[in-house]
Amino acid sequence: MIRPQEKCIAECQTVAKRSENPTIALRLHPSNNHWSFTKGNLLLLFQRVEAAVSAARDAFPSWSSKSPWERSQIMNKLADLIEQELEAFAQAESKDQGKTITFARTVDIPRAVYNFRFFASSILHHTSECTQMDQMGCMHYTMRVPGGIAGLISPWNLPLYLLTWKIAPAIACGNSVIAKPSEMTSVTAWMMCKLLDKAEIPPGVVNIVFGTGPKAGEAIVSHPDVPLISFTGSTLTGQLIMERSAPHCKKLSLELGGKNPAIIFEDADLDQCIPTTVRSSFANQGEICLCTSRIFVQRGIYHEFLKRFVEETKKWKVGSPSDPTANMGALISKEHLEKVKKYVKKAEAEGARILCGEGIESLQLPTRNQNGYFMLPTVITEVKDESCCMQQEIFGPVTCVVVFDTEEEVIKRANGIKYGLAATIWSSNVGCVHRVAKRLQSGLVWTNCWLIRDLNLPFGGMKFSGIGREGAKDSYEFFTEVKTITIKH
């Protein structure tokens, strides 16, 4: 087989056949796996995006006038329907993206269900502000109203998980949406489309457009009637979205790249730290923006940590995504696999040491997977801070381990990149944890753990890692506009 992922974006995927909920389904060219655009079908794409905007515009007055409780009930129905088909969604996500079936079953699809339930609940509990000016005989209060049509663009690494992370708060707040999943992983978005009618989501409230970023994505971002854009993906694409949105003064939420450090002090509990840091480095093949890719270890425990970390990494099984015992599946594409491998070669050429993984051991795969896009988890050491492997987002199963001496030194080095999404700190010293967490230029800092989330709290990065935050309060504020009302009495 060419790859373990199976693509379903073809004519059979002309989604849900909801004439009121327009969609685009384009065909992959069978000879080269690239999208084939002609003048005719490019024009069709823009016509479909325009039709999606029209449907969203028509649906907005009725949907936005529904009470939060009414919208909440409908969203919970959709969550129930997805949960009822959890196994089918998980199988599709694993085949389409290359992730393990275990990860899809336990992370991706349950979180997609929870996204709808969480925002269906949180929308019921927001409050407004009120002040009085007795001397003027006035009362002031605030009101939040839906922003309008929201353009939502999600990535290929956590397809339904991140698509629903955007759709759920947007429609909970009363907006209609035009959502574009990645053209690389659109199958579960298509499956969700078929449940919208059953959930009684009115036509035009949720419009899913299938197509590439440079075509469908740009058409959404550039449309003057789409005032809100929420995007998760690369920093480069985020910069292009800012350029295209600027003429229309659009409201933007951008969750972009990361190059996340783990800082491990000498008093860290290595029995907890090592398996968690292996997981934070290689979960989902390292294709998570929050994955650890720079590990700073204090000198006193450096050699012990390195030995045990490599031993633990070698235990991770790379195998068929359908194998429930596999820790890692396949990377998203041949091009991405080659890009990740090039980083390892560059590091080696710069004098770094590859301790395990790429170029050191051989993959042991079932016969049917031997032509797939698999890679062993790779640990690099003796790498300089200015190396591309320490500065650029690799987005694959590669992590670098380096030594540090002092707290002041490691903070400076951890901050010495353009990204600022997430970080982890390992120490039993509470004072150290608080000092370092405060000074790290990261939107999220985990201490003695990784990827424990409370969706009520802000999620997002600093510097080149994005603009804005997502979460109960932050998403509510993004997807609504606030107005102040003054009453003279």
Catalytic residue (choose from 255, 287, 358, 393): 255
Q: Which long-range contacts (CB under 8 A, 24 or more apart) does 80-87 make?
A: 81/195, 81/198, 81/199, 82/109, 82/112, 82/113, 82/116, 82/192, 82/195, 83/113, 85/191, 85/195, 86/110, 86/113
Cα–Cα distance for residue pair 15/209, rounded to 1 Å: 9
**Is 255 tagged catalytic?**
yes
CA atoms within 13 A on the CB side of 324: 3
Sequence-distant (6+) residues with CB within 8 A of 443 are 420, 421, 422, 458, 459, 460, 461, 462, 465, 466, 469
Residue 447 vs residues 120, 246, 269, 355, 450: alpha-carbon distances, Å? 30, 38, 12, 26, 7
Strands 419-420 and 462-463: antiparallel
Compute the distance between CA of residue 262 and CA of residue 413 in angstroms, rounded to an integer.
11
Cα gap 459→262, rounded to integer Å: 18
Cα three-residue angle 476-482-484, rounded to 5 degrees: 150
Q: In the structure encoding, which two tokens stand for residue 219, read together?
A: 């058409």
Catalytic residue numbers read 255
